[in-house]
Amino acid sequence: MANKEKSAEMVSENVEVFRCPICHFPVKVFGLKSLVCPNNHTFDFAKQGYVNMMTRPSSSHYDKKLFEARQKIIMKSNLYTFLHEKISEVIGKYLDASHAPAVILDAGCGEGSHLQRILEECNNDSITAIGLDISKEGIVMAAKNYQSPIWLVGDLANAPLEDQSYQVVLNVLSPANYMEFKRILTSDGLIIKVVPRSNYLKELREALFIDKNKRDYDNDEIVSLFKQHFHLEKYFKLSYVKELSQTELMNLVQMTPLAWKSEKEQIDTFIKQNSVGVTVDLDILVGYKRKKRGGK
Ligand SMILES: C[S@@+](CC[C@H](N)C(=O)[O-])C[C@H]1O[C@@H](n2cnc3c(N)ncnc32)[C@H](O)[C@@H]1O
Ligand SMILES: [Zn+2]
């Protein structure tokens, strides 16, 4: 079966977790070709197996080259292994606490590799995964590379997703829309948000002379906003250094917009090194939509 039909089947098995982004009515899969609402708003499955549910043309700064570099770093280097392991552990514990089966959304999934790695790590058939991103480039790549999640082009500020239908929302290094996250999460739902700390990829920033006058950065504002919407259950600080090879350094430079404003000379000096220890410095915020029973 082609990707398009496979994806349409997966969506039809879980059709209750989607909704029309225009009129907000439930949708149905029609002829394994489209998602259609009662007002005939129609969203076609693309041949790669994703659905575009944008209501307006979207523009993103992220291009194909950037997403390809991200995919290589996430899948082939071990730069984010600890992150994937930690998130999978959090999800595993949540599922064990009688929350399975679960529908998991990766909001702002980019080209989908983090979601794919986390699912591999979870290795749990009771998970249905959905990746949503406003960038068509990212979602096309995700759909071509990874078959088990459902991939949607969509805006997380007007998510084409049904109320109270998601057990877990992941939000990795991407913008958030907490009103939407609260709307789609079940009452026991969990949010896992990953935010950079001040030393995140600091070797790259230093080499490209970015943030020279940077003050010590803290996450107080992000944490405080998060706490206005969710009950912060856990707060993990993930800080480590991984050695990257020359090829990996090239991908590292291309996977963020940091290099866009840099001189070629600075980039060349950085990628000519045989290997460099690169710092990953992230916070993982884990919150519940409502206080856990027995929680403070
Ligand atoms: C830094 S990238 C992170 C992507 C992915 N989570 C990763 O870590 O590789 C931020 C992502 O947020 C997406 N994004 C930005 N605004 C969005 C919106 N309103 N709705 C959905 N996705 C959005 C971008 O297209 C981009 O893929
Ligand atoms: Zn509609």
Q: Is the CB of 203 under 6 A from ligand 1?
A: no
Count of CB atoms situated within 10 Å of the CB of 179: 9
Per-residue pLDDT band at 144 (split at 50, 70, 90): very high
Q: Which tokens in the block code for residue 157?
A: 């500020």
Strand locations in 12-66 (E): 28-30, 34-36, 42-44, 50-52
Report the percentage of the chain scoring pLDDT > 90: 82
The ligand with the least distance to the CA atom of 69 is 1
Say yes or no: CB of residue 208 within 6 Å of ligand 1: no
At 27-53, the pLDDT tens digits run 999 999 999 999 999 999 999 999 999
**Contacting residues for 190 by C-beta, under 8 A, at least 6 apart:** 90, 94, 99, 167, 168, 169, 233, 286, 287, 288, 289
Pocket test for ligand 1, best of 104, 174, 178 (most atoms within 8 A of CB): 174
CATH class of the region 3-288: alpha beta
218-239 confidence digits (pLDDT tens) = 778 888 999 999 999 999 999 9
C-alpha 3/C-alpha 238 separation (Å) is 36
Which residue in the block uniquely carries the two structure tokens 């949607």?
152
Q: Is 126 exposed, middle or buried (0-12, 13-18, 19+ CB in 10 A)?
A: exposed
70 close to ligand 1 (CB < 6 Angstrom)? yes
Written as one string, the DSSP assignment of 255-274 is TSGGGGGS-HHHHHHHHTSS
Does residue 173's CB lie within 6 angstroms of at least one atom of ligand 1? yes
Provide the residue ranges of all domains of the chain, joining segments of one domain with +: 3-288
Ligand nearest to the backbone CA of 280: 1
pLDDT at residue number 258: 82
Element (DSSP H or E) covering residue 191: strand 185-196
pTM for the structure as a whole: 0.96
Would the CB of 135 count as within 6 Å of ligand 1? Answer: yes
40: left (phi over 0), alpha (psi -120 to 50) or beta: left
The pLDDT tens digits for 79-128 are: 999 999 999 999 999 999 888 899 999 999 999 999 999 999 999 999 99
Q: What is the pLDDT of residue 20?
A: 98
Amino acid at 10: M
